[in-house]
Structure 1
Amino acid sequence: MSLRNAQTASSSSSSSSNSTFSPGYNFDIFLSFRGEDTRRKFTDHLYTALVGKGICTFRDDEKLERGEIIDQNLLQAIEESRFFIVIFSKNYANSESCLNELVKIMECTARGGKAFPIFYHVDPSEVEKQSGKYGEAFAVYENNANLEREQIQKWRTALTEASKLAGYHIENQ
């Protein structure tokens, strides 16, 4: 069962338009964002604009934000998307779920997907070097005995790779 047909069964939402923008994919765009930072502001406006243009866009439902484990349906939505917009905000790195999404997104870009970062009130160098708020988040992860070092390194690598992609820097707007 595809995610498009299982919208009510899963905790996800996507535009319901039948786009021909990316044949062979169930979603044209997957939005990755930290809900507490951008959901009711930037991300809602971006989602509305994309859907208004007939672009089939996936974003998680608010219910998914509460858990830290990526739902299998979310991983499937990433795999079924052609493009990815990653909205890096001040608390993005505080979410293991966001970081796991990013790892999956970067795996998909290695297979031909395209990711576009948006640095929302965050300096791109903080994402690249995991400094500032991103460094604070990783200091917590490094001290967490329950996290595997390999997973932390995957997050670091994905952040560094994504920060080097051509994107947009939004500050004080």
Structure 2
Amino acid sequence: MAELIQASSSVSSFESSNYEVFLSYKWEDTRNNFISFLHKALKDSGINVFLDSKELWTGDAIGPAIESAIEGSKIWIPVFSSGYADSQWCLWELAQIVQCHRSNDHRLILPIFCYVGPYDVQHQTGSRFEKAFQEHEKKFKPDIVKNWRDALELVGNLKGEILDETK
């Protein structure tokens, strides 16, 4: 992931972002349903929200823009879905969120568990999370994978909103 960020030489328009909320989510799982509704509800309430598909411009360096948006946000909302751990970008975002959270305890992480349980996030269990990490362990250095696992464990242990078939 660091290689992807360093490889990009574009200057981002996010050098000093100040978002109230940063949404982290797996595009394919939640973009056209839950995230769209959540984003609209937050924007309609006057909340300044970072949503990558709305805020990034063609030519922006993706990694630095997202990192700046994370650092400049007051609240982070990771929306965990069954495919969240498949995405190295989602895991990288979450690790960045946790790093910022640890350095400034005035900001909040408000997790949403969308058809996935907190236990599966915390322990990387369940077929998709387990399988995703088996693949990540083949492709990435152990310290990167450990950082991702630690971030999932910390955030999976936070009180969050659980969305399932009953809600």
Aligned partner of 1:143 among 127, 138, 142: 138
Distance 1:11 1:61 in 2: 15
Q: Which residue of 1 aligns with 2:25?
A: 33
Q: Which residue of 1 aligns with 2:83?
A: 91
Q: Which residue of 1 aligns with 2:162?
A: 169
**1:142 partner amino acid:** E
User: Does the aligned pair in 2 maintain the 1:128–1:159 contact within 8 Å?
Assistant: yes
Distance 1:167 1:123 in 2: 10
Q: Which residue of 1 aligns with 2:115?
A: 121
**2:161 partner amino acid:** Y
Structure having the higher strand fraction is 1
Q: Which residue of 1 aligns with 2:52?
A: 60
Measured after TM superposition, the shift of residue 123 of structure 1 is 1.2
**Does the residue aligned with 2:32 lie in a helix, a strand or coil?**
helix
Residues 49-80 of structure 1, C-alpha deviations (whole Å, 9 max, x = no match):
0000001111111797xxxx952111000000
Q: Which residue of 1 aligns with 2:150?
A: 157
Structure having the higher helix fraction is 2
Distance 1:107 1:40 in 2: 29
Distance 2:146 2:62 in 1: 18
% of aligned pairs identical?
Answer: 36
Measured after TM superposition, the shift of residue 143 of structure 1 is 2.3
Q: How many residues align?
A: 148
**Does the residue aligned with 2:51 lie in a helix, a strand or coil?**
strand
Q: CA RMSD in A?
A: 2.3
In the TM superposition, structure 1's runs of 4+ consecutive aligned residues that sit over 3 Å from their partners are: 9-12
Q: Which residue of 1 aligns with 2:72?
A: 80
Q: 1:115 to 1:63 in 2, by over 3 A?
A: closer
- Where do 5+ consecutive residues of structure 2 fail to align? 1-10
Structure 2 residue 97 is matched with structure 1 residue 102: no
Give the TM-score normalised by the residue count of structure 1: 0.79
